[in-house]
Amino acid sequence: MVCATIFTLQFKEKFPLPFFSGSMGNIQETKNISYSIIISSPSDGEVFNFLSEDETVPIKVRSSQIEESGYRLNLVVDDKDIIKTFNSTPYTYNWKPQKPGEYLIIANLVDNDSNVISTSNKVKFTVEFKYEKETLVTEEISSTTAFVTEETATIGIPTIKLEVFEGPTYSSGDDICYYRIRAIVTGDPVPTVSFSKDDSKGAWGALNTQINLTRTAPNYTLTVVAKNSTGQAMDSLTLTWGCGN
């Protein structure tokens, strides 16, 4: 009897209580995934002196652990404008700013519901335009005044084009299929832009909009108007449910 008691005590010291209670199968190991996201270009404080309209800001993001995650990587300027969405590598993009100034860029890793999972370092840089727009003039001296007036008006008339930069993307929480669309605008003076609909309520900036499609309303034709003192321009884009869910 004494020997049996000693053996039982030694056995319980070697194997913890969960071994005897049968709860060992409920013990789970939690694995925390760490996402490393680094903007390696441009460098913080870098100044870009553009000598022509064709120059761009080279953006490059280095990362680890996100390629197989199924998440998207958004490049965000000044904490509001998404300028590029990546669904896979390489995470490189040549961005053409519409105006000179100081900019702040960050890369956000987001899930299918646009929740931010992880963020990169913030990089501040400056863009300076060292060129002037050329003014077209005629070689016919007799009609110089009229020609310059006409050309100046033509250059100032707005142009606008719609471009999808994200989507179609399914949001399971809302059971919607959404698109995010940007308006590419030119004109002098700078035109005002009006979208026929914006389900983001302006969250993506004045030149971007979000359209949410539902199962009961799976189609929508988006229209946009650019207008300034010289005239106006319009574009439209028909969106359809394309999420496949």
Dump pLDDT digits (tens) for 54-92: 899 999 999 877 887 889 999 999 999 999 999 888 999
Q: Is residue 6 part of a domain?
A: no
Which pLDDT does position 153 carry in this prediction? 53
The predicted pLDDT at position 52 comes to: 87
Residue 63's pLDDT is 87
Give the torsion through C-alpha atoms of 107, 111, 114, 120, to 10 deg. Answer: -20
Does residue 57 lie in a domain region? yes
Instruction: Verify that 64 and 119 share a domain, yes or no.
Output: yes
**Does any domain span residue 159?**
yes
Predicted confidence (pLDDT) at residue 19 exceeds the cutoff of 60: no
List the domain range (segments joined by +) for residue 199.
155-240
Q: Are residues 68 and 118 in the same domain?
A: yes
CB contact set of 192 (below 8 Å; sequence gap of 6+): 226, 227, 228
Q: Is residue 137 part of a domain?
A: no
Q: Is the pLDDT of residue 230 over 80?
A: yes
Q: Could you tell me if 45 and 116 lie in one domain?
A: yes
In a domain, 70, yes or no: yes
Whichever domain contains 57, its CATH number is 2.60.40.10
Distance, CA of 7 to CA of 4 (rounded, Å) = 5
Q: Which amino acid is at 102?
A: E
Strand partners, 102: 126
Which residues have a Cβ under 8 Å from the Cβ of 149 and sit 6 or more positions away?
Answer: none
* Structural domain contains residue 119: yes
Closest alpha carbon to 99 in 59, 134, 126, 135: 126
Residue 61, token pair as written in the block:
């993001």
In this structure, are 159 and 122 located in the same domain? Answer: no
pLDDT-based confidence at 155, cuts 50/70/90?
A: confident
Q: Same structural domain for residues 219 and 165?
A: yes
Question: Which candidate, 221, 199, 225, places its Cα nearest to that of 212?
Answer: 199
Do 105 and 162 have their domain in common? no
159 Cβ neighbours under 8 A, 6+ residues apart: 185, 186, 187, 226, 233
Both 99 and 182 in one domain: the answer is no
Confidence tier at 7 by pLDDT (50, 70, 90): very low
Cβ count near 125 (within 10 Å): 19
Q: Is 161 within 8 Å of 139 (Cβ atoms)?
A: no
Mean of per-residue pLDDT scores for the chain: 82
Q: What is the pLDDT of residue 18?
A: 47
Q: Please name the amino acid found at residue 11.
A: F
Q: What is the pLDDT of residue 145?
A: 52
One-letter amino acid at 203 equals A
Structural domains in the chain (count):
2
pLDDT score for 23: 43
Which of 129, 163, 194 is the last residue in one of the domains? 129
